[in-house]
Amino acid sequence: MSERSQSITMRDVAEHAGVSSSSVSRALSGSRSMNPDVRERVLRSAEVLGYEVNLLGRALRQQRLNVVGLILPDFSNPFFAAMAEHLGEVFRAAGFELLVSSAGDDLSTERHAVSSFLGQQIQALVIIPKDETESREALEAASRRIPTVQFDRRVATSGVPYVGCDNRAGIELIARHVRDVTPQGERVVFVGAGVSSSSARERREAFAALMPDALFLDGTFDVEWGHQAARLLLERSERGGTIVASADVIALGLQSELQARGRRIPQDFRVIGFDGIGVTGYALPALTTVRQPIEEMCAAILELISRDGLHPESTEVLLAPELVHGKSTVLEEDGAVAPLGG
């Protein structure tokens, strides 16, 4: 592979062709499920830029299975299931199968999953670490043997490449929206998920820096914690306010419990989530949330493990999220969306 082709990335091809990175992945893999004109445009851009895909060839040279492993913290969080589905689509389009395993929210199980995958001679491994510090051993064991990428969560001290959402940028979007929709004098609440995972910690720290006067409640990444947090707020005799959840799955529990106890959303409480995939579509009213750029994240992971002899220590790919407005923070008046406060 030439020095020029190594410097050109899938994102470069996408920008040149005016398409998404996932479209580039499908076009270069020969997937039939795409517009032939788009495929031709991508192939032409790849040729002009000198981009080459060598992932399959490397797999054959190394005599490894044409398989990529994915280890999730647990299967109970629907956000992880949605991420796995997106990642599977990207890798299948590139000629790979994705095998998924769960750590069961347990560090020893996480280490066992890594060992099991390594024993199967897979091509590469993607890990969403369970713990920001304690998962380091499993990560480094994998990265010594095969290309390994951290996804969504990370152990910053491990030196293993990381692809994820820019959590701080997402919280900045939320903070601006909170200021727009929260009536003067009403409470702002952040319902977090502790600090054992990097995503939970980064979101909590960013919100605390921007809104230090908010009320902070910490729990776990699940619906039940959302229910519990809502009960705690009502026990404090909170009559209204804006609630920011560290994840959509928490927001779903918050909305459900508040409405079950006679509170209106968004008239009494406004609820904001973070993730934008998974359970988001089940929220009623529709949830205002920060949507992670899942398609771009998955394409970036493919890009990383496609590099021959992947050893890009300290590689960090942070992708910008977007704020999606829903009815959980705004009212529709005369066909237009209007904030409650300002």
Sign of CA dihedral 130, 318, 43, 2: negative
Beta strand 269-275 with 241-245: parallel, antiparallel or unpaired?
parallel
The answer to whether residues 235 and 196 belong to one domain is yes
Task: Please state, in angstroms and rounded to a whole number, the distance separating the CA atoms of residues 191 and 79.
Answer: 17
The answer to whether residues 300 and 331 belong to one domain is no
Sign of CA dihedral 260, 264, 268, 271: positive
* Helix orientation angle between 294-305 and 78-93, rounded to the nearest 10 degrees: 50
Is residue 330 classed as helix, strand or coil in its secondary structure?
A: strand
User: What is the domain-level CATH number for residue 236?
Assistant: 3.40.50.2300
User: DSSP secondary-structure letter at 97?
Assistant: E
The answer to whether residues 270 and 151 belong to one domain is no
The answer to whether residues 123 and 198 belong to one domain is no
pLDDT in single tens digits along all 342 residues of the chain: 444 444 677 788 888 999 887 787 777 665 556 787 888 888 888 878 877 655 444 444 445 558 899 999 888 888 888 889 999 998 888 888 899 999 888 999 999 999 988 888 788 999 999 888 999 988 988 988 888 999 999 998 888 999 999 999 999 999 999 999 999 999 999 999 988 889 999 999 999 999 999 999 999 989 999 999 999 999 999 889 999 999 999 999 999 999 999 999 999 999 999 999 878 888 889 999 999 999 999 999 988 887 655 554 558 899 999 999 999 998 765 334 444 443
The answer to whether residues 155 and 115 belong to one domain is yes
Structural domain boundaries enclosing 215: 167-292+324-339
Q: Alpha helix (H) ranges present in 182-264?
A: 198-210, 223-235, 248-260
The answer to whether residues 191 and 333 belong to one domain is yes
The answer to whether residues 329 and 212 belong to one domain is yes
Question: Cis bond leading into 339, ω under 30°?
Answer: no
The answer to whether residues 135 and 187 belong to one domain is no
The answer to whether residues 81 and 101 belong to one domain is yes
The answer to whether residues 36 and 154 belong to one domain is yes
The answer to whether residues 86 and 180 belong to one domain is no
The answer to whether residues 56 and 109 belong to one domain is yes
Count up the domains in the chain and report the number: 2
